[in-house]
């Protein structure tokens, strides 16, 4: 099944097309995942301008049409209000126009999913991204499962003693005395890996709810939650 993945929770504007299938019986993984095309542009002020063109570029590169997309996966943050809503609104629009489900996933979970192959069992991972205002969004993971967070905090107030390795924003991981894994932002593959059990089961998604974790600087009353059933 063809899955569109998008994320605008970080300064990176991310879009990609992922072919997702149930894993081969007897294989060590429960899914087969193949990246057909992806686009990533790091520009915190260009989310609205470049996301849809990136999606169209991915469709052209993969030789697919919009009607081939069977599901959408979108990062729901945590992230700044203005950028985050672009990805979520775009994902919801594709789902509504095509009549397909839209699944929201924590963007920090997607980073953790990409970092997982470089982790040994029982090694705890800390993921941090830029929350602005000299703060970070963070969550901790063990064996691929989130065990704490997501929350927002000043780096100096975050107790990282339980973590053994860190991933996330390149300009923020250095605040912590931990080995760094080279995964900075959510990838299309990471986003789809997190949502794969629901996508493969064709589960009815819950309503899209952005993870702001604090009051936005500007509030639009019309943007509270988005329907991600695609209906």
Quick one: 28 and 91 in the same domain? Answer: yes
In this structure, what CATH number is given to the domain that contains residue 91?
3.30.420.40
Domain count, the chain: 2
pLDDT of residue 48: 86
Quick one: 102 and 151 in the same domain? Answer: no
Residue 225 domain flag: no
Average pLDDT over residues 127-146: 94
Residue 121 domain flag: yes
Q: Is the pLDDT at 94 greater than 50, yes or no?
A: yes
Quick one: 159 and 74 in the same domain? Answer: no
**DSSP reduced 3-state for 156:** helix
* Mean pLDDT over each residue of the chain, to the nearest integer: 90
pTM of the model: 0.89
Quick one: 19 and 118 in the same domain? Answer: no
- 183 by Cβ neighbours in 10 Å (0-12 / 13-18 / 19+) ranks as buried
What is the percent of the chain where pLDDT is above 70? 90
Pick from 103, 96, 108, 134: nearest CA to 209? 103
Q: What is the pLDDT of residues 207-222, one digit of tens each?
A: 999 999 975 444 444 4
Domain carrying residue 86: 2-106+186-200
Quick one: 67 and 96 in the same domain? Answer: yes
Quick one: 10 and 63 in the same domain? Answer: yes
Quick one: 80 and 192 in the same domain? Answer: yes
How far lies 38's CA from each of 54, 57, 185, in Å?
8, 9, 13
Pick from 112, 51, 53: nearest CA to 86? 51
**DSSP reduced 3-state for 117:** helix
Spatial distance between the Cα atoms of 71 and 113, rounded to a whole number of angstroms? 19
In this structure, what CATH number is given to the domain that contains residue 144?
3.30.420.200
């Amino acid at each position: 099944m063809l899955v569109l993945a998008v994320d605008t929770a970080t300064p990176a504007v991310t879009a990609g097309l992922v072919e997702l299938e149930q894993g081969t019986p007897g294989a060590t993984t429960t899914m087969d995942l193949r990246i057909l095309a992806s686009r990533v542009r790091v520009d915190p002020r260009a989310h609205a301008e470049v996301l849809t063109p990136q999606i169209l570029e991915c469709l052209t590169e993969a030789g697919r049409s919009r009607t081939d997309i069977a599901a959408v996966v979108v990062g729901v943050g945590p992230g700044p209000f203005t950028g985050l809503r672009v990805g979520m609104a775009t994902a919801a629009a594709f789902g509504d126009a095509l009549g397909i489900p839209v699944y929201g996933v924590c963007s920090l979970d997607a980073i953790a999913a990409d970092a997982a192959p470089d982790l040994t069992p029982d090694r705890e991972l800390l993921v941090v991204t830029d929350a602005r205002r000299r703060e970070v969004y963070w969550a901790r993971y063990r064996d691929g499962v989130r065990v704490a967070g997501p929350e927002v905090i000043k780096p100096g107030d975050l107790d990282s003693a339980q973590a053994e390795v860190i991933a996330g924003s390149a300009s923020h991981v250095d605040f912590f005395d931990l080995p760094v894994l080279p995964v900075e932002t959510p990838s299309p593959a990471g986003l789809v890996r997190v949502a794969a059990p629901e996508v493969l089961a064709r589960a009815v998604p819950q309503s899209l709810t952005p993870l702001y974790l604090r009051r936005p600087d500007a509030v639009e009353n019309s943007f509270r939650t988005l329907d991600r059933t695609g209906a």
